[in-house]
Amino acid sequence: MKGSPLHESEMPVLSGASGGNIAASLAPLLGMEQIQLENRRFPDGEAYVRVPTDAIEAVRSEPSVLVSNTYPDSGIMQTLLLLGAISDVRRGDLANLKQEGPQSLEDVGPGIVLAIPYYGYARQDKRFSPGESVSARQIADMISAYCDGIAILDLHAPDVLNDAKIPIEYVSSMPEIASELSERISPDFILSPDKGAISRASAVAEIIGCEFSYLEKTRIDAHTIEHTPKDLDVSGKVVAIVDDMISTGGTICRASDALRRQGAKEVHAACTHGLFTGGALSRLAKHVDSVHTTDSLPNPRADVSASPALSRGISKLLTKLA
């Protein structure tokens, strides 16, 4: 991984059950030290987390970065517990029944940055019917009580967090995805499969310097989507469909069908977050020539590192906190 260290001190990049791979590649980019926090499960499935004794000094002496996903549901709990444990250590609340070490120390103040590679629950960003939880906002409300800034990678709809109580840096892996696509498939045309992905996909087209267009999508239900027919100038061309995430693969498969009908020579898919639910990878294999994602979620198609984008946001937050 290339990049010059931004901080000379031993600031820690922490991780728990998720984010270990990203913390490992972020640490050298930021000139920080990676520390794995203790995490395991009780027999009933509940999570246990702990800042190890030999990490207490590092967590207290410098601002700390925690890398953790709010996905799946257990990731939300894990993130909250890790933030709570780090926050106690930084406040100097070390009281414990075994009376190990100092029981209390001075409060070292704010300095916890949470880096979220994949922000789960992002897609419920509006209340469509009365009484619904706007889950994207609720997740932020819970975690922002325990940290001082959040860097989020390719959040589905950032506007939902406009009222957040702490600074948020929205970062994108589209520059790294553009490099990967250029190198691997050299696309002639980038397609956004819906209006929501236009800004991300057009950024990729601009970096590559190729043509761009988008489709209009209607979601009938979780597994069924329809695209409004549109003439696309893709005959004989290598096309990459770029989205923020792939879940069932329905959006990409339908967009690919439209492209093939109009004569596309090759169709590839790329996204930041590869969820690949319920056999999505086998479905995609019948519709596209290749699939590329970041490692925000571990998956067999992850060939782009999420760390450069996250490091950009973390650096900005650390500057704000300094």
Edge-to-edge strand order for the sheet containing 12-15? 33-36, 12-15, 64-67, 112-116, 149-153, 168-171
Cα–Cα distance measured from residue 246 to residue 255, given in angstroms and rounded to the nearest whole number: 12
When asked if residue 154 is in the footprint of ligand R5P (CB under 6 A), the reply is no
249 lies in the binding site for ligand R5P (CB under 6 A): yes
Identify whether 195 is a catalytic site residue: no
Nearer to ligand R5P, 97 or 220 (CB): 220
**Which entry of 126, 165, 217, 316 is annotated as an active-site residue?**
217
Q: Where are the beta strands (DSSP E) in 143-279?
A: 149-153, 168-171, 189-192, 211-214, 217-221, 224-227, 238-246, 266-274
Task: Check binding of 244 to ligand R5P (CB under 6 A).
Answer: yes
Q: What are phi and psi for residue 232, nearest 5 degrees?
A: -125, 135
Give the residue, chosen from 34, 124, 173, 251, that forms a contact with ligand R5P under the rule CB under 6 A: 251
Taking CB under 6 A as the binding criterion, the range among 60-68, 87-95, 130-138, 244-252 that sits at the site for ligand R5P is 244-252
- Cα gap 304→251, rounded to integer Å: 21
Task: Specify the residue, 90 or 287, whose C-beta has the smaller distance to ligand R5P.
Answer: 287
Count of residues near ligand R5P by CB under 6 A: 14
Q: Is 69 in the site for ligand R5P (CB under 6 A)?
A: no
Toward ligand R5P, which CB reaches closer, 78 or 247?
247
Task: Name the nearest CA neighbour of 197 among 226, 156, 146.
Answer: 156
Of residues 86, 42, 45, the one with CA closest to residue 68 = 86
DSSP state of 44: T
Each residue 222-241 as x (binds ligand R5P by CB under 6 A) or -, in order, gives ---x----------------
Q: Is 293 in the site for ligand R5P (CB under 6 A)?
A: no
Which of 243, 264, 268, 274 touches ligand R5P by CB under 6 A?
A: 243
Q: Residue 111 interacts with ligand R5P (CB under 6 A)?
A: no
> What type of residue is 86?
I
Question: What residues act catalytically?
Answer: 217
Question: Which residues would be at the binding site for ligand R5P (CB under 6 A)?
Answer: 193-194, 196-197, 225, 243-251
